[in-house]
Structure 1
Amino acid sequence: MGMIVPSLAHWLEASELLNGKGMFMTGTDTNVGKTWVGKQLIHTLRVLGREVIPRKPVESGWNADIQQTDAWQLANAAGLELDNSICPYRFSAAISPPRAAHLVGKHLTLQTLAATCPTRWDKRQFLYVEGAGGFYSPIADDGLNADLAQILGLPVVLVAENKLGCINHVLLAAEAIQQRRVPFAGVILNNRQSLPESMDNLNDLRAYLTVPVVTFPAT
C-alpha cells in the first residue's frame, strides 16, 4: 500500500475520524477533487490498519473507460474490485444524478440511495460514502446530498479547491452542514494550483472554523 501520508494522518486523528466508524465526503461544488482526496484518505486509513468499505451510491457522467469513474478509483484505493454494491446507480449523462436518471426512465429516492450503504460493520472497518457534487447539490428526486448525509448520520468531510474565493465557499458550506445538525469532521483544501505568497486560505479558515483544516498536498 505504500507509505503513509503524514498530513492526512494527523488530520484524521485531529478530526476524530481515525478511530471512527466512517465519513460522508462532500464538496463546496462539483469538480473540486472529492474523489482524488478521497483516494488519499482511503490509502492512509488502510496503512493505519482500517479496512475501508467504499460507497458511491450514484454516479452520473459514467465513463466508458471504467478506470476513469469515481467508483472504480475508490474501489481500487480500497483494494477491491468494482461491483454493484459499491456503485449500483450509474448514468452516462454528465448532469445531476436525478436528471441523468430521468433520461433513462429511472427515479432515485433518498431511501434507495441510503440502502446502498451497510448499517452494521465491525470496528476494524471504516465506511467511506461519497456524494455527488456539492453539499446542496441534488442527488435524488426527493433531496440533496445534505439530506442523504443526515439520513446516514456519518461525520461530513468538506473538500474545496484551494483558490481565491474558497473561503466564502467553505464558510457557506460549513454553515449549511452545521445547520443540518450532522457531525462536521473537518475541511480539506485541495491544492491544484500555485497561489500568491500573500494568500493563506488555510490559516484564514482556521481562524473562522473550530474543525480541523488541512491543505493537501501540503505546501
Structure 2
Amino acid sequence: MDVMSDLQAWLAATGLARARGVFVTATDTGVGKTWVGRQVIGALRTHGLDVVARKPVESGWNAVDMTTTDAWQLGQAAGNDPAQVCPYHFHAPLSPPRAAALEGVTLNIATLQQACWAGVTGQQYLLVEGAGGFYSPLAADGLNADLAVALGLPVLLVTEDRVGCLSPVLLSLEAAQRRGLQIAGIALNRRNPPPFGMDNAADLQAFTTIPLWQTA
C-alpha cells in the first residue's frame, strides 16, 4: 500500500472511522502519540463522529498548568472535559504503576478498562491513548498491550520517523499479532528533518501492508 501524507486518505484506508474506537499506542515514549491522537480526533470529527477521548492514566502530571498534560490536549481536540479524559493522574514522571505506588494507589487493567468505557454511549467513538510504548507497564498487573486486548479496539501504532525506528515497529507489530490485535494503521511521525537517504516508509513497505501515514 502506498505511503500517505494526507491524513483523511490514510484514515479512510485504515477503516478507523467505521470502527467503535481506537487504541493509540507507540513504539516508545515521547514519539508524539498525543499529537497524532489530536490529528486523528480532528479528522474523525469531520466525519461527524462524537469522539470521547480517554487517557486513563497519566504520570508526570502538571497540576499547576494542566494545559501541558496529554489529557488536556486530547480533551481540547475532542471537546471533552479534561478531568473526565484522565481519571487517574500522578505527579512523579515515572511509569504509571510506579508513580501510582508512590501515592499509595494500585492500578489494575480491569479498572482502567472500566474507566475508558465509563459514560460512553453506543453512538460515541472511543479514542484511548496509552502511556509509553506498547510493552510499557501501565498497571500493577499489566502492560499497555494488556489494556489494548481488554478494550478489543483496533490499534494505531505511532513511532518517530527516525533512524532506528524500524525494529521497534516490527517488534510491536509481531507482539500485537500474537495477542490477536488488529493494527489498523502506522503513523510515522517526522519531528526532525531526516538524514540524507533515510526512507523508513519505503523500508516498512517491504514487511507490512498496514496503511502508513507519514506526517509532514
Q: What TM bracket, shorter-length normalisation? A: over 0.9
2:121 equivalent to 1:121: yes
How far 1:80 sits from its partner (Å)?
2.2
Distance 2:6 2:121 in 1: 27
Please report the RMSD computed on the Cα atoms of aligned residues, expressed in angstroms.
1.3
Letter in 2 for 1:151: A
- Which residues in structure 2 correspond to 1:160-179 (within 5 Å)? 160-179=159-178
Unaligned runs of 5+ in 2: none
Task: Give TM-score scaled by structure 1 length.
Answer: 0.92
> What whole-Å deviation, never above 9, does each CA across 1:164-212 have from its counterpart, x for those lacking one?
0111111111111111111111100001011134211111112211211
Written as runs of structure 1 = structure 2, the 5 A alignment for 1:21-100 is 21-63=20-62, 64-83=64-83, 85-100=84-99
The aligned counterpart of 2:204 is 205
Give the structure with the higher percent helix.
2
Q: Percent identity?
A: 53
Q: In structure 2, what residue type is equivalent to 1:72?
A: W
CA-CA distance at 1:62 after TM superposition? 0.2
- The letter of the residue matching 1:115 is Q
Task: Please give the alpha-carbon distance, in whole angstroms, between the structure 1 residues aligned to 2:173 and 2:71.
Answer: 25
Q: Which runs of 4+ in 1 moved over 6 A?
A: none
Task: For residues 76-112 of structure 1, give each alpha carbon's deviation from its aligned partner in whole angstroms, at most 9, with x where no partner exists.
Answer: 00012222x3211010100000000010111001111
- Equivalent AA in structure 2 for residue 118 of structure 1: W
Q: State the distance in 1 between where 2:195 and 2:60 align.
A: 34
How many residues are paired up? 210
Q: Contact 2:57/2:87 (CA < 8 Å) preserved in 1?
A: yes
> C-alpha separation between the residues in 1 aligned to 2:19 and 2:28?
26
Q: Which amino acid aligns with 1:57?
A: P
2:127 counterpart SS class: strand
Which has the bigger relative contact order, CA under 8 A and spacing at least 6?
A: 2
